[in-house]
Amino acid sequence: MTSNNEPLLAEPTPSPRIPLPEGTLAVGGGLLVAGISSYAFFKVGQEALGKENFKPIVALWFATFVLAPGFFLPLEQEMGRALAHRRALNQGGRPIVARIVPLGAAIAGIIVAVLAGVSSIATREFFEGYGLVTAALIIAFVAYAPTHLARGICSGQGRFASYGIVMGADGFVRIVGCIILWQLDVTNVGAYAMLVALSPLSGVLIVWLRGDIKTTPGPVAPWSEVTPNLGWLLLGSLMGAGLVNAGPIAINILATKEQSTLVTAFGNGVLLSRVPLFLFQAVQAALLPRLARLAAQGDLAEFRNAFRKLMQVVIVVGIVGTVGSFILGPSLLKIVYDDALDRSSLSMLALGSALYMVALATAQAVIALNGHARVGFGWLLGMLTFVGCTWLASDNLYTRVEIGLVASSMVALLVFALSLRQLLNDGATISVDSLSDALSDRPFEA
């Protein structure tokens, strides 16, 4: 565990056996557990409930991961950035936590009030009449508030093992609980919904018991220290999380009652198409410490070279994922989930994910150059494009959503690419604070 008195971005103690950047294995391990458990949860849950009865869980899953990262990821980013800055100055971070936690509680309270107000409509129109699933959405949203804040504290203080625990425990507890319910022949949809809602608290409990979310006293934190870009980060995070999860949500809204199995099948296809996104997140986690050190040292030439290589990896992974979905997608979907989507649908989903991944990587470069507002605008324009295309592009349930996913990511990518070019031409420079925001910007869960 890293001491609070250790300088920000200091070189890790050399290891003769594992010459990797600080935190790579811990964060990568948490990501691996979280990613695998997501796929396993969908598999086991459908075995236990059947594809038709699993539809409300699909809706719950994607709605949760619009709301939770959308509203709380910016708080995690600002918590991590502000604590890391104080860590560099050998100042205690407790005043930072004291500022951000009430802000998170206020956001949670407002959104919970809104969700409670529309709960009857959500239960009837979105969750197939299951009131417990609506309750689970509200509980899940509240549960992810301390989860994201704990992750921000851990990352800001260099406690990467605990960061990995928070991520991994969520998925591990969820899939273990799902297997237990399945083996006990539990077929109550609400029970599986509550697993989604309560599992994130497991990681928070573990790191709290370890004492890894403790902070030390320090100078009073003015609001300007913790919220310089919070509004733009909130807009970008909410629109970005909404966009990556928009497909299954739109399918759920547009499908008739007779098409419930199609909703589950589409959700399964979206999960498979996210494999490249999961790989990108793992690569990003491994490179974050090195890129941060390069920026802190002022070695912008080497930073740009490293980021260029990252973009090359992202593009290659996206191409391989799209081609792989075209060739192997239908067979893999049948093997993994015993489900069927045609080659065209799986290829379009993979292409949409690939474009989103490239857009996300480009957006991170823009944020690193202090282009937070440009990124918020880009994701907003992408979301508007998705709504327009899904409404007008086709009458076919799948086709209209697939076109929306591809077109929206293309629009967002275009905005980010033009912004990046302009910022570089104008001589914008990278700061450690903006880089911290950039590399923690991941508005999706594996």
Give the Cα separation of 57 and 136 in Å (integer).
10
Q: What is the pLDDT of residue 144?
A: 96
Between 1 and 140, residue with greater pLDDT: 140
Residue 251 has pLDDT above 90, yes or no: yes
Between 199 and 82, residue with greater pLDDT: 199
Grade residue 329 by pLDDT with cuts at 50, 70 and 90: confident
Q: What is the pLDDT of residue 111?
A: 96
What's the farthest any 2 CA atoms get from each other in the chain?
Answer: 63
Task: Check residue 11 and report its DSSP letter.
Answer: P
Between 442 and 314, residue with greater pLDDT: 314
- Name, in order, each residue with C-beta under 8 angstroms of 45's C-beta and a sequence gap of 6 or more: 54, 57, 178, 182, 192
Q: What is the pLDDT of residue 10?
A: 42
Grade residue 348 by pLDDT with cuts at 50, 70 and 90: very high
Q: Supply the Cα-derived Rg of the chain in whole angstroms.
A: 21
Q: How many residues does the chain have?
A: 446
Grade residue 283 by pLDDT with cuts at 50, 70 and 90: low
Q: Which residues of 32-50 are buried (b: 16+ CB within 10 A; e: fewer)?
A: bbbbbbbbbbbbbbbebbe
Contact yes or no for 371/442 (Cβ under 8 A): no
- Mean local confidence (pLDDT), 211-226: 91
Whole-structure pTM value: 0.85
- Mean local confidence (pLDDT), 403-427: 92
Does the CA dihedral 67-38-23-93 come out positive or negative?
positive
Grade residue 433 by pLDDT with cuts at 50, 70 and 90: confident
Provide the 10 A C-beta neighbour count for residue 105: 14
Residue 244 has pLDDT above 80, yes or no: yes
Residue 383 has pLDDT above 50, yes or no: yes
- Mean local confidence (pLDDT), 8-32: 54
Per-residue pLDDT reduced to its tens digit, 25-43: 777 778 788 888 999 999 9
Residue 414 has pLDDT above 60, yes or no: yes
Per-residue pLDDT reduced to its tens digit, 331-342: 988 888 888 888
Residue 390 has pLDDT above 70, yes or no: yes
| H or E, element range at 331 | helix 300-337
Q: What is the pLDDT of residue 4?
A: 44
Q: What are phi and psi of 10, to 5 degrees?
A: -65, 150
Q: To the nearest whole number, what is the mean pLDDT of the chain?
A: 86
Q: What is the pLDDT of residue 1?
A: 41
Q: What is the pLDDT of residue 19?
A: 39
Q: What is the pLDDT of residue 5?
A: 44
Give the Cα separation of 168 and 159 in Å (integer).
15
- Mean local confidence (pLDDT), 356-382: 90
Residue 289 has pLDDT above 70, yes or no: no
Grade residue 314 by pLDDT with cuts at 50, 70 and 90: confident
Residue 9 has pLDDT above 80, yes or no: no
Complete DSSP assignment for 174-223: HHHHHHHHHHTT---HHHHHHHHHHTHHHHHHHHHHTTTT-----S---H
Per-residue pLDDT reduced to its tens digit, 137-188: 999 999 999 999 999 999 888 888 898 899 999 999 999 999 999 999 999 9
Per-residue pLDDT reduced to its tens digit, 92-141: 999 999 999 999 999 999 999 999 999 999 999 899 999 999 999 999 99
Q: What is the pLDDT of residue 100?
A: 95
Q: What is the pLDDT of residue 426?
A: 82
Q: What is the pLDDT of residue 182?
A: 96
Give the Cα separation of 34 and 271 in Å (integer).
13
Structure tokens at 288: 């974050």
Contact yes or no for 209/378 (Cβ under 8 A): no
Does the CA dihedral 319-322-327-332 come out positive or negative?
positive
Q: What is the pLDDT of residue 12?
A: 43
Q: What is the pLDDT of residue 99?
A: 94
Q: What is the pLDDT of residue 271?
A: 87
Give the Cα separation of 315 and 310 in Å (integer).
9
Give the Cα separation of 306 and 330 in Å (integer).
36
Q: What is the pLDDT of residue 442?
A: 67
Residue 18 has pLDDT above 50, yes or no: no
